[in-house]
Amino acid sequence: MNDISDPSSSNPVRSTLLPYGQQWIDEQDIEAVVKVLRGDFITQGPAIEAFETKIANYVGAKYAVAYTNGTASLHGACFAAGIGQGDEVITTPITFLASSNCVLYQGGTPVFADIDINTYNIDPLDIESKITERTKAIIAVDFTGQPVEIDRISMLARDRNLVLIQDAAHSLGASYAGRKVGAWADMTMFSFHPVKHITTGEGGVITTDNEHYYRKLLMFRSHGMTRNPKELIRNEGPWYYEMQELGYNYRMTDMQAALGLSQMDKLDGFVARRREIAALYNESFSSLQGLIVPKQHSNAESSWHLYVLRWLPEYFAESRESLFLALRNENIGVNVHYIPVYLQPFYKKLGYQTGVCPNAETYYDTVITLPLFPRMTESDVADVITAVKKVYARFKN
Ligand SMILES: *Cc1c(COP(=O)(O)O)cnc(C)c1O
Protein backbone atom coordinates (compact mmCIF):
# COMPACT_ATOMS: atom_id res chain seq x y z
CA MET A 1 0.00 0.00 0.00
CA ASN A 2 2.74 2.46 0.88
CA ASP A 3 4.75 1.28 -2.11
CA ILE A 4 6.00 4.30 -4.05
CA SER A 5 5.12 2.54 -7.29
CA ASP A 6 1.48 2.79 -6.13
CA PRO A 7 -0.19 5.02 -8.75
CA SER A 8 -2.54 6.67 -6.24
CA SER A 9 0.29 7.87 -4.00
CA SER A 10 2.40 9.22 -6.84
CA ASN A 11 -0.50 11.32 -8.09
CA PRO A 12 -2.57 12.21 -5.03
CA VAL A 13 -5.91 14.06 -5.25
CA ARG A 14 -4.42 16.79 -3.05
CA SER A 15 -0.88 18.05 -2.69
CA THR A 16 -1.32 19.04 0.99
CA LEU A 17 -3.03 17.21 3.82
CA LEU A 18 -6.61 18.20 4.58
CA PRO A 19 -7.13 17.73 8.35
CA TYR A 20 -10.28 16.00 9.65
CA GLY A 21 -11.21 18.99 11.79
CA GLN A 22 -10.03 22.52 12.44
CA GLN A 23 -11.07 25.72 14.22
CA TRP A 24 -12.15 28.90 12.47
CA ILE A 25 -10.88 32.04 14.21
CA ASP A 26 -11.54 35.44 12.65
CA GLU A 27 -10.51 39.04 13.41
CA GLN A 28 -13.56 39.61 15.64
CA ASP A 29 -12.46 36.65 17.78
CA ILE A 30 -8.90 37.96 18.03
CA GLU A 31 -10.06 41.46 18.99
CA ALA A 32 -12.33 40.02 21.68
CA VAL A 33 -9.39 38.24 23.30
CA VAL A 34 -7.07 41.23 22.98
CA LYS A 35 -9.66 43.43 24.67
CA VAL A 36 -9.59 41.15 27.71
CA LEU A 37 -5.79 41.16 27.73
CA ARG A 38 -5.84 44.97 27.90
CA GLY A 39 -8.43 44.97 30.69
CA ASP A 40 -8.43 44.34 34.44
CA PHE A 41 -9.33 40.66 34.58
CA ILE A 42 -7.71 37.88 32.61
CA THR A 43 -9.31 35.26 34.83
CA GLN A 44 -12.27 35.23 37.27
CA GLY A 45 -13.67 38.34 35.59
CA PRO A 46 -16.95 39.23 33.88
CA ALA A 47 -16.41 37.38 30.57
CA ILE A 48 -16.99 34.02 32.27
CA GLU A 49 -20.51 34.83 33.42
CA ALA A 50 -21.33 36.48 30.11
CA PHE A 51 -20.22 33.35 28.26
CA GLU A 52 -22.14 31.08 30.63
CA THR A 53 -25.29 33.16 30.19
CA LYS A 54 -24.95 33.09 26.43
CA ILE A 55 -24.62 29.30 26.34
CA ALA A 56 -27.47 28.78 28.81
CA ASN A 57 -29.77 31.04 26.79
CA TYR A 58 -28.78 29.41 23.52
CA VAL A 59 -29.59 25.87 24.65
CA GLY A 60 -32.54 26.89 26.83
CA ALA A 61 -31.10 25.88 30.21
CA LYS A 62 -31.27 27.82 33.47
CA TYR A 63 -27.60 27.56 34.40
CA ALA A 64 -24.23 27.02 32.74
CA VAL A 65 -20.88 26.50 34.49
CA ALA A 66 -17.68 26.91 32.47
CA TYR A 67 -14.68 24.68 33.10
CA THR A 68 -11.09 24.37 31.87
CA ASN A 69 -12.09 21.67 29.40
CA GLY A 70 -14.82 19.18 28.60
CA THR A 71 -13.16 16.40 30.56
CA ALA A 72 -13.03 18.51 33.74
CA SER A 73 -16.70 19.44 33.14
CA LEU A 74 -17.63 15.75 33.03
CA HIS A 75 -15.63 15.21 36.22
CA GLY A 76 -17.67 18.02 37.79
CA ALA A 77 -20.92 16.47 36.58
CA CYS A 78 -20.00 13.10 38.12
CA PHE A 79 -19.15 14.87 41.37
CA ALA A 80 -22.42 16.81 41.36
CA ALA A 81 -24.32 13.60 40.62
CA GLY A 82 -22.78 12.11 43.76
CA ILE A 83 -20.98 9.30 41.96
CA GLY A 84 -18.56 7.44 44.21
CA GLN A 85 -17.09 4.08 45.10
CA GLY A 86 -19.38 1.20 44.20
CA ASP A 87 -21.62 3.23 41.90
CA GLU A 88 -22.13 2.04 38.35
CA VAL A 89 -22.55 4.48 35.47
CA ILE A 90 -23.73 3.29 32.08
CA THR A 91 -22.14 4.77 28.97
CA THR A 92 -21.24 3.93 25.39
CA PRO A 93 -17.90 2.45 24.26
CA ILE A 94 -18.01 4.46 21.00
CA THR A 95 -16.83 7.72 22.49
CA PHE A 96 -13.75 9.62 23.54
CA LEU A 97 -12.04 8.24 26.66
CA ALA A 98 -13.23 11.14 28.83
CA SER A 99 -16.88 9.98 28.82
CA SER A 100 -16.01 7.02 31.03
CA ASN A 101 -12.73 8.18 32.60
CA CYS A 102 -14.76 10.80 34.51
CA VAL A 103 -16.54 7.95 36.31
CA LEU A 104 -13.21 6.39 37.27
CA TYR A 105 -11.99 9.77 38.63
CA GLN A 106 -14.81 9.60 41.17
CA GLY A 107 -14.12 5.98 42.07
CA GLY A 108 -17.19 4.71 40.23
CA THR A 109 -17.47 1.87 37.73
CA PRO A 110 -18.23 2.49 34.06
CA VAL A 111 -20.57 -0.09 32.52
CA PHE A 112 -20.71 -0.20 28.74
CA ALA A 113 -23.98 -0.57 26.86
CA ASP A 114 -23.86 -1.41 23.17
CA ILE A 115 -24.66 0.94 20.31
CA ASP A 116 -27.49 0.87 17.81
CA ILE A 117 -25.76 -0.30 14.64
CA ASN A 118 -27.72 2.22 12.55
CA THR A 119 -27.18 5.48 14.45
CA TYR A 120 -24.01 4.39 16.33
CA ASN A 121 -25.51 5.93 19.48
CA ILE A 122 -26.08 4.06 22.72
CA ASP A 123 -29.06 1.71 22.47
CA PRO A 124 -31.76 2.51 25.09
CA LEU A 125 -32.71 -1.18 25.29
CA ASP A 126 -29.15 -2.17 26.07
CA ILE A 127 -28.96 0.57 28.72
CA GLU A 128 -32.01 -0.99 30.34
CA SER A 129 -30.47 -4.45 30.31
CA LYS A 130 -27.31 -3.15 32.05
CA ILE A 131 -29.11 -1.44 34.95
CA THR A 132 -28.46 -3.03 38.37
CA GLU A 133 -29.24 -1.93 41.92
CA ARG A 134 -25.85 -0.19 41.91
CA THR A 135 -26.52 1.92 38.81
CA LYS A 136 -26.45 5.60 39.72
CA ALA A 137 -26.25 7.46 36.41
CA ILE A 138 -26.22 7.29 32.63
CA ILE A 139 -23.73 9.21 30.52
CA ALA A 140 -25.25 9.34 27.03
CA VAL A 141 -23.01 10.59 24.23
CA ASP A 142 -24.36 12.33 21.12
CA PHE A 143 -21.88 10.61 18.87
CA THR A 144 -20.94 12.55 15.69
CA GLY A 145 -23.40 15.32 16.69
CA GLN A 146 -26.52 13.21 16.34
CA PRO A 147 -28.50 13.43 19.61
CA VAL A 148 -29.17 10.16 21.41
CA GLU A 149 -32.80 9.06 21.83
CA ILE A 150 -32.98 11.39 24.76
CA ASP A 151 -36.75 11.10 25.25
CA ARG A 152 -36.55 7.35 25.81
CA ILE A 153 -33.38 7.59 27.87
CA SER A 154 -34.83 10.40 30.04
CA MET A 155 -37.89 8.31 30.75
CA LEU A 156 -35.72 5.34 31.69
CA ALA A 157 -33.61 7.53 33.98
CA ARG A 158 -36.70 8.97 35.66
CA ASP A 159 -38.29 5.54 36.17
CA ARG A 160 -35.14 4.05 37.66
CA ASN A 161 -34.13 7.16 39.60
CA LEU A 162 -30.84 7.65 37.74
CA VAL A 163 -29.00 10.89 37.04
CA LEU A 164 -28.82 11.56 33.31
CA ILE A 165 -25.67 13.26 32.04
CA GLN A 166 -25.48 14.04 28.34
CA ASP A 167 -22.01 14.21 26.80
CA ALA A 168 -22.77 16.70 24.07
CA ALA A 169 -19.17 17.42 23.12
CA HIS A 170 -20.21 16.68 19.53
CA SER A 171 -23.67 18.20 19.50
CA LEU A 172 -23.69 21.90 20.33
CA GLY A 173 -26.37 23.34 18.06
CA ALA A 174 -28.14 20.01 17.54
CA SER A 175 -31.79 19.40 18.44
CA TYR A 176 -33.98 16.44 19.29
CA ALA A 177 -37.71 16.62 18.58
CA GLY A 178 -37.29 20.34 17.95
CA ARG A 179 -35.65 21.09 21.30
CA LYS A 180 -31.96 22.01 21.64
CA VAL A 181 -29.47 19.64 23.19
CA GLY A 182 -28.51 21.14 26.56
CA ALA A 183 -32.04 21.44 27.89
CA TRP A 184 -32.93 17.74 28.07
CA ALA A 185 -30.69 15.94 30.54
CA ASP A 186 -30.04 16.64 34.24
CA MET A 187 -26.63 17.93 33.18
CA THR A 188 -25.21 18.40 29.68
CA MET A 189 -21.54 18.84 28.80
CA PHE A 190 -20.14 20.77 25.83
CA SER A 191 -16.45 20.90 24.85
CA PHE A 192 -14.66 23.79 23.19
CA HIS A 193 -11.60 21.94 21.95
CA PRO A 194 -10.51 23.32 18.54
CA VAL A 195 -12.08 20.47 16.54
CA LYS A 196 -15.49 20.98 18.20
CA HIS A 197 -18.24 23.36 17.01
CA ILE A 198 -16.86 26.45 18.69
CA THR A 199 -13.54 26.78 20.45
CA THR A 200 -11.93 28.46 23.45
CA GLY A 201 -8.61 26.65 22.89
CA GLU A 202 -9.40 24.33 25.76
CA GLY A 203 -12.72 24.66 27.49
CA GLY A 204 -15.97 23.07 28.52
CA VAL A 205 -19.30 23.81 30.14
CA ILE A 206 -22.11 22.04 31.95
CA THR A 207 -25.67 23.25 31.47
CA THR A 208 -28.41 22.34 33.96
CA ASP A 209 -31.79 23.46 35.26
CA ASN A 210 -31.08 22.07 38.70
CA GLU A 211 -29.90 24.54 41.33
CA HIS A 212 -28.39 21.86 43.54
CA TYR A 213 -26.17 20.61 40.70
CA TYR A 214 -25.37 24.19 39.76
CA ARG A 215 -24.05 24.99 43.27
CA LYS A 216 -22.01 21.77 43.36
CA LEU A 217 -20.52 22.48 39.93
CA LEU A 218 -19.47 26.00 41.00
CA MET A 219 -17.80 24.69 44.13
CA PHE A 220 -16.07 21.80 42.43
CA ARG A 221 -14.34 23.97 39.84
CA SER A 222 -12.81 26.14 42.55
CA HIS A 223 -11.33 23.91 45.29
CA GLY A 224 -14.70 23.03 46.86
CA MET A 225 -14.75 26.59 48.24
CA THR A 226 -17.62 28.98 48.69
CA ARG A 227 -17.97 32.61 49.75
CA ASN A 228 -21.72 32.63 49.29
CA PRO A 229 -23.16 33.80 52.68
CA LYS A 230 -26.19 31.56 52.15
CA GLU A 231 -23.97 28.47 51.92
CA LEU A 232 -21.52 29.17 54.75
CA ILE A 233 -21.66 26.97 57.85
CA ARG A 234 -20.41 29.91 59.91
CA ASN A 235 -19.38 33.39 58.85
CA GLU A 236 -16.38 35.06 60.44
CA GLY A 237 -16.50 38.19 58.34
CA PRO A 238 -16.26 39.63 54.85
CA TRP A 239 -12.93 37.86 54.16
CA TYR A 240 -14.34 34.50 55.08
CA TYR A 241 -14.49 31.51 52.78
CA GLU A 242 -15.16 27.88 53.44
CA MET A 243 -13.93 24.70 51.82
CA GLN A 244 -16.81 22.29 52.10
CA GLU A 245 -15.89 19.69 49.48
CA LEU A 246 -12.66 18.46 47.89
CA GLY A 247 -12.62 20.37 44.61
CA TYR A 248 -10.06 21.27 42.00
CA ASN A 249 -8.90 24.34 40.11
CA TYR A 250 -10.92 23.80 36.95
CA ARG A 251 -11.57 27.46 36.15
CA MET A 252 -11.70 28.82 32.62
CA THR A 253 -9.89 32.13 31.97
CA ASP A 254 -11.58 35.33 30.80
CA MET A 255 -9.46 35.27 27.63
CA GLN A 256 -11.02 31.94 26.75
CA ALA A 257 -14.52 33.02 27.71
CA ALA A 258 -14.17 36.11 25.50
CA LEU A 259 -13.14 33.90 22.60
CA GLY A 260 -16.10 31.65 23.31
CA LEU A 261 -18.53 34.59 23.43
CA SER A 262 -17.28 35.77 20.06
CA GLN A 263 -17.38 32.24 18.59
CA MET A 264 -20.99 31.82 19.74
CA ASP A 265 -22.01 34.54 17.27
CA LYS A 266 -20.88 32.20 14.51
CA LEU A 267 -22.21 28.92 15.84
CA ASP A 268 -25.38 28.71 13.75
CA GLY A 269 -23.42 29.50 10.59
CA PHE A 270 -20.82 26.87 11.45
CA VAL A 271 -23.51 24.24 12.02
CA ALA A 272 -25.32 25.15 8.80
CA ARG A 273 -22.10 24.71 6.83
CA ARG A 274 -21.40 21.35 8.51
CA ARG A 275 -24.90 20.19 7.56
CA GLU A 276 -24.32 21.25 3.97
CA ILE A 277 -21.07 19.29 3.71
CA ALA A 278 -22.61 16.20 5.33
CA ALA A 279 -25.47 16.38 2.82
CA LEU A 280 -22.98 16.51 -0.05
CA TYR A 281 -21.18 13.45 1.31
CA ASN A 282 -24.46 11.58 1.77
CA GLU A 283 -25.50 12.41 -1.76
CA SER A 284 -22.15 11.25 -3.15
CA PHE A 285 -21.77 8.00 -1.22
CA SER A 286 -25.22 6.65 -0.39
CA SER A 287 -25.63 4.83 -3.70
CA LEU A 288 -22.21 3.16 -3.59
CA GLN A 289 -22.65 -0.50 -2.72
CA GLY A 290 -20.58 -1.51 0.30
CA LEU A 291 -20.48 1.98 1.82
CA ILE A 292 -22.82 2.88 4.69
CA VAL A 293 -23.58 6.55 5.20
CA PRO A 294 -24.62 7.62 8.72
CA LYS A 295 -28.33 6.99 9.36
CA GLN A 296 -30.28 9.62 11.22
CA HIS A 297 -33.05 9.04 13.75
CA SER A 298 -36.23 10.81 12.63
CA ASN A 299 -36.27 13.04 15.75
CA ALA A 300 -32.59 13.95 15.54
CA GLU A 301 -31.25 17.10 13.95
CA SER A 302 -27.52 16.55 14.04
CA SER A 303 -24.96 19.33 14.23
CA TRP A 304 -22.51 17.03 12.41
CA HIS A 305 -19.28 17.12 14.37
CA LEU A 306 -18.02 14.03 12.54
CA TYR A 307 -18.83 12.29 9.28
CA VAL A 308 -18.19 8.55 9.60
CA LEU A 309 -18.37 6.22 6.63
CA ARG A 310 -18.52 2.45 7.06
CA TRP A 311 -16.81 0.23 4.48
CA LEU A 312 -18.35 -3.24 4.63
CA PRO A 313 -15.43 -5.68 4.44
CA GLU A 314 -17.22 -8.20 2.17
CA TYR A 315 -17.23 -5.61 -0.64
CA PHE A 316 -13.53 -4.75 -0.57
CA ALA A 317 -10.43 -6.63 -1.60
CA GLU A 318 -8.29 -5.06 1.11
CA SER A 319 -8.49 -4.38 4.85
CA ARG A 320 -9.84 -1.21 6.43
CA GLU A 321 -6.23 -0.30 7.18
CA SER A 322 -5.38 -0.41 3.47
CA LEU A 323 -8.41 1.74 2.61
CA PHE A 324 -7.43 4.17 5.34
CA LEU A 325 -3.81 4.38 4.12
CA ALA A 326 -4.97 4.82 0.53
CA LEU A 327 -7.06 7.83 1.62
CA ARG A 328 -4.15 9.25 3.60
CA ASN A 329 -1.98 8.81 0.50
CA GLU A 330 -4.47 11.03 -1.33
CA ASN A 331 -3.75 13.60 1.41
CA ILE A 332 -7.18 13.26 2.96
CA GLY A 333 -6.77 13.49 6.75
CA VAL A 334 -9.02 10.56 7.58
CA ASN A 335 -9.29 9.29 11.12
CA VAL A 336 -11.08 6.57 13.10
CA HIS A 337 -13.64 7.47 15.78
CA TYR A 338 -13.48 5.61 18.10
CA ILE A 339 -11.66 2.57 19.42
CA PRO A 340 -14.19 1.04 21.88
CA VAL A 341 -13.09 2.43 25.23
CA TYR A 342 -13.10 -0.91 27.05
CA LEU A 343 -10.56 -2.34 24.58
CA GLN A 344 -7.92 0.12 25.84
CA PRO A 345 -5.10 -1.52 27.82
CA PHE A 346 -5.99 0.42 30.96
CA TYR A 347 -9.58 -0.82 30.85
CA LYS A 348 -8.44 -4.37 30.04
CA LYS A 349 -6.29 -4.19 33.18
CA LEU A 350 -9.43 -3.28 35.14
CA GLY A 351 -11.03 -6.48 33.86
CA TYR A 352 -13.10 -5.32 30.88
CA GLN A 353 -13.20 -7.92 28.12
CA THR A 354 -13.53 -8.07 24.37
CA GLY A 355 -17.02 -8.97 23.17
CA VAL A 356 -19.26 -7.12 25.62
CA CYS A 357 -20.55 -4.72 22.94
CA PRO A 358 -20.52 -6.63 19.63
CA ASN A 359 -22.12 -3.82 17.59
CA ALA A 360 -19.49 -1.36 18.82
CA GLU A 361 -16.71 -3.73 17.80
CA THR A 362 -18.22 -4.38 14.36
CA TYR A 363 -18.67 -0.66 13.86
CA TYR A 364 -15.07 0.07 14.91
CA ASP A 365 -13.63 -2.50 12.51
CA THR A 366 -15.36 -0.94 9.50
CA VAL A 367 -15.36 2.83 9.98
CA ILE A 368 -13.35 5.72 8.55
CA THR A 369 -13.96 9.37 9.54
CA LEU A 370 -13.80 11.91 6.70
CA PRO A 371 -12.73 15.55 7.11
CA LEU A 372 -15.59 17.83 8.15
CA PHE A 373 -15.27 21.41 9.40
CA PRO A 374 -16.97 24.66 8.43
CA ARG A 375 -13.94 26.28 6.91
CA MET A 376 -13.64 23.58 4.23
CA THR A 377 -13.97 25.12 0.78
CA GLU A 378 -16.04 23.69 -2.06
CA SER A 379 -12.84 22.36 -3.56
CA ASP A 380 -11.79 20.70 -0.27
CA VAL A 381 -15.15 18.94 -0.19
CA ALA A 382 -14.79 17.93 -3.83
CA ASP A 383 -11.30 16.53 -3.09
CA VAL A 384 -12.68 14.31 -0.34
CA ILE A 385 -15.42 13.02 -2.61
CA THR A 386 -12.99 12.40 -5.48
CA ALA A 387 -10.54 10.58 -3.20
CA VAL A 388 -13.22 8.37 -1.66
CA LYS A 389 -14.52 7.43 -5.11
CA LYS A 390 -11.00 6.78 -6.37
CA VAL A 391 -10.13 4.48 -3.46
CA TYR A 392 -13.57 2.84 -3.70
CA ALA A 393 -13.13 2.07 -7.40
CA ARG A 394 -9.67 0.71 -6.82
CA PHE A 395 -10.54 -1.67 -4.00
CA LYS A 396 -14.15 -2.64 -4.67
CA ASN A 397 -14.57 -6.36 -5.36
C1 LIG B 1 -13.85 16.19 23.05
C2 LIG B 1 -14.64 15.22 23.83
C3 LIG B 1 -14.62 15.17 25.25
C4 LIG B 1 -13.63 15.91 26.08
O5 LIG B 1 -13.56 17.25 25.88
P6 LIG B 1 -12.18 18.03 26.12
O7 LIG B 1 -12.63 19.45 26.05
O8 LIG B 1 -11.25 17.64 25.01
O9 LIG B 1 -11.67 17.66 27.45
C10 LIG B 1 -15.49 14.32 25.90
N11 LIG B 1 -16.33 13.54 25.21
C12 LIG B 1 -16.36 13.53 23.88
C13 LIG B 1 -17.32 12.63 23.18
C14 LIG B 1 -15.50 14.35 23.15
O15 LIG B 1 -15.50 14.30 21.81
Question: What are the respective helix, strand and coil percentages of the chain, to the nearest 5?
Answer: 40, 15, 45
Distance (angstroms) between ligand 1 centre and the Cα of 231 equals: 32
Pocket (CB within 6 angstroms of ligand 1):
69-71, 95-96, 98-99, 141, 167, 169-170, 191, 193, 204
pLDDT tops 60 at residue 3: no
pLDDT tops 60 at residue 4: no
**Partner residues linked to 190 by β-bridges:** 205
Instruction: Give the confidence band of 9 by pLDDT, cuts at 50, 70, 90.
Output: low
Catalytic residue among 136, 180, 196, 266: 196
At 347 the pLDDT is 98
Q: Which of 217, 249, 207 is nearest to 55 (CA)?
A: 207
Ligand 1 atom 7, closest CA: 70
Tens of pLDDT, residue by residue over 224-244, are 999 999 999 999 999 999 999
Mean pLDDT, range 332-360, rounded to an integer = 98
Q: What are residue 123's phi and psi, to 5 degrees? A: -90, 115
250 neighbors 221 (Cβ within 8 angstroms): yes
Mean pLDDT, range 275-289, rounded to an integer = 98
Give me the domains of the chain, ranges plus CATH numbers. Answer: 27-264 (3.40.640.10), 267-395 (3.90.1150.10)
Q: Which of 20, 67, 71, 206 to mutate to test the pocket of ligand 1 (most atoms within 8 A of CB)?
A: 71
Instruction: Give the confidence band of 221 by pLDDT, cuts at 50, 70, 90.
Output: very high
pTM for this one? 0.96
35 as an active site residue: the answer is: no
pLDDT tops 90 at residue 260: yes
- Please state the atom number of ligand 1 nearest to the C-alpha of residue 73: 9
Mean pLDDT, range 43-54, rounded to an integer = 97
- Please state the atom number of ligand 1 nearest to the C-alpha of residue 71: 9
Mean pLDDT, range 337-342, rounded to an integer = 98
Mean pLDDT, range 122-129, rounded to an integer = 98
